[in-house]
């Protein structure tokens, strides 16, 4: 099954994608995690991506599409995958569609997690991200067992620089301008499914499993 997660920054894409990946046994591919790993490892791609990420802007399509198209051809993707944070622009969606068309495949579901802008700032300012494995927590809605420490791997949790309110406002603007048009794109292909992302994490997950028939 090939699944795309759509939704504003902080809508819960990563949280749900991880749970779906565990349940369905398919890889969770997050472009944000890939860029952050590159920044951490000091690669050239990381240095370029960071310039945009710090400002709350999208990394250019030229740096993003190729890496995802390569990743989904890896052996572990043969039974499907969940793309979290990609595509984020119409050209990215077209690049994905073209790559899949070539091998006679298509996206099965684009899951849109719907959360109004009003809820996003508090979601983001309370988010804490693991510096090692990419797991995310929330100081109120999903606290780790031990403050500041990842339940899964024991590494330190941090507030991401781009989760500060000034940057979040930019990211929301960018979302409405460049990513929201994907809702129509996937709706036209009859694969869009919208779930109410203001519910509890468990309820959102239930709704997604119903959509997937899992």
User: Which residue numbers are catalytic?
Assistant: 13, 88, 127, 160, 171
Alpha carbon 66 to its chain centroid, in Å, reads 17
Binding of ligand ADP by 205 (CB under 6 A): no
Residue 158 has phi, psi (to 5 degrees) of -135, 160
Residues numbered 142 to 201 that lie near ligand ADP (CB under 6 A) are 142, 162, 171, 200-201
Classify strands 28-30 and 81-84 as parallel, antiparallel or unpaired.
parallel
- What character string, x for contact with ligand ADP (CB under 6 A) and - otherwise, covers 15-54? x---------------xx--x----------------xx-
Q: How far apart are CA 201 and CA 153, in angstroms?
A: 21
Q: How far apart are CA 80 and CA 130, in angstroms?
A: 26
Residue with smaller CB distance to ligand ADP, 8 or 104: 8
Residue with smaller CB distance to ligand ADP, 26 or 30: 30
Using the rule CB under 6 A, give the single segment among 38-46, 72-80, 82-90, 184-192 that binds ligand ADP: 82-90
Q: Give, as one character, the DSSP assignment of residue 10.
A: T
- What character string, x for contact with Zn ion (CB under 5 A) and - otherwise, covers 108-137? ----------------------x-xx-x--
Binding of Zn ion by 151 (CB under 5 A): no
3-class DSSP state of 128: strand
Q: How far apart are CA 78 and CA 27, in angstroms?
A: 10
Q: Tokens 């990215």 sit at which residue?
A: 92
Binding site for Zn ion (CB under 5 A): 130, 132-133, 135, 150, 152-153, 155
């Amino acid at each position: 099954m090939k699944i795309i997660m759509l939704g504003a920054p902080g809508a819960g894409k990563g949280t749900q994608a991880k749970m779906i990946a565990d349940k369905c046994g398919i890889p969770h591919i997050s472009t944000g995690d890939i860029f952050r790993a590159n920044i951490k490892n000091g690669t050239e791609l990381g240095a370029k991506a960071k310039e945009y990420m710090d400002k709350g802007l999208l990394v250019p399509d030229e740096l993003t599409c190729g890496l995802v198209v390569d990743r989904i051809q890896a052996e572990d993707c043969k039974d499907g995958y969940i793309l979290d944070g990609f595509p984020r622009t119409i050209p990215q969606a077209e690049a994905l569609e073209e790559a899949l068309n070539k091998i006679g495949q298509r996206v099965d579901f684009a899951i849109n997690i719907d959360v109004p802008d009003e809820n996003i700032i508090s979601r983001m300012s309370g988010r804490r991200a693991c510096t090692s494995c990419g797991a995310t927590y929330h100081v109120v809605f999903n606290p780790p067992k031990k403050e500041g420490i990842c339940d899964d791997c024991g590494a330190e949790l941090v507030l991401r620089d781009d989760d500060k309110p000034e940057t979040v406002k930019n990211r929301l603007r960018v979302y409405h301008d460049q990513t929201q048009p994907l809702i129509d794109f996937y709706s036209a292909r009859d694969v869009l499914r919208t779930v109410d992302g203001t519910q509890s994490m468990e309820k959102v997950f239930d709704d997604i499993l119903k959509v997937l028939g899992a």
